[in-house]
Chain A
Amino acid sequence: NAGVMQNPRHLVRRRGQEARLRCSPMKGHSHVYWYRQLPEEGLKFMVYLQKENIIDESGMPKERFSAEFPKEGPSILRIQQVVRGDSAAYFCASSPPTQYEQYFGPGTRLTVT
């Protein structure tokens, strides 16, 4: 059973461009969480999704950030018009519907130049 997959592992964008981060949960996992880790900090919750539904987006910035988890395909975290402050590691985690443990992907390191 493959673990949580994230791609790309590293992403460089210029200010003003769009960043798309992908997350494929573990097989059988229907719950996806996105977290952001700034340098020297712990992870901060952004959004929690189930298939085709956003359950909790209380940690997501109101502007420029969006997330989806379609019926088919990976979950996508989209950042429009990136700024230098968006530079961080973005982690995705997944869990099965009946358990509470979250399993993390390797993260995507976004660098905005």
Chain B
Amino acid sequence: AQTVTQSQPEMSVQEAETVTLSCTYDTSENNYYLFWYKQPPSRQMILVIRQEAYKQQNATENRFSVNFQKAAKSFSLKISDSQLGDTAMYFCAFMNPRRPNYGGSQGNLIFGKGTKLSVKP
């Protein structure tokens, strides 16, 4: 079974600094997707960034970028120029691509336990 591990329960960073959140996963699949979701105090789940395993290039979205190491099964999130609004829980998630007629999990997300990030002024 696939598992996702976030080894940092809590982290803090000064405003405008850079912080990296760690995520490792375990799978025997070769093709899959990885995501980072943000959950602010409002509890809304917001998609931050995604990565397709078949793409070697690391995904970037404005101040957010990932370091995807497929062989090491590592998928860390880097937040540059941290802002107060980045304060939230961050969840790493894994997904097998949807395969019709396949009896196992199809497209559901497997989440880590989360990292609570506090951005300090």
- Chain A residues close to B by CB (< 8 Å): 31, 33, 35, 41-45, 48, 55-56, 58-59, 89, 91, 93, 95, 100-104, 106-107, 109
Contacts and interface: CB of A to CB of B under 8 A. Distances in A.
Interface in B85-111: 91, 95, 97-98, 104-111
Contacts of A33: 107-109
A100 B95 contact: yes
Given A42-B91, A55-B106, A104 B111 contact: no
Contact of B50 (A43, A48, A55, A101): A101
Majority secondary structure, A binding face: strand
A82 to B, nearest CB: 20
Interface residues of B, number: 26
A31 B100 CA distance: 13
Interface in B50-93: 50, 91
B11 interface: no
A45 B110 contact: yes
A59 B109 CA distance: 11
B113 A45 contact: no
Given A89-B43, A100-B33, A95 B91 contact: no
A44 B1 CA distance: 14
Given A45-B105, A100-B98, 17 more contacts: A33-B107, A33-B108, A41-B114, A42-B113, A42-B114, A43-B45, A43-B111, A48-B106, A56-B105, A56-B108, A58-B104, A58-B105, A89-B43, A100-B95, A100-B107, A102-B109, A104-B44
Contacts of B16: none
A91 B45 contact: yes
Contact of B43 (A59, A102, A106): A106
Contacts of A56: 104-108
A102 B50 CA distance: 11
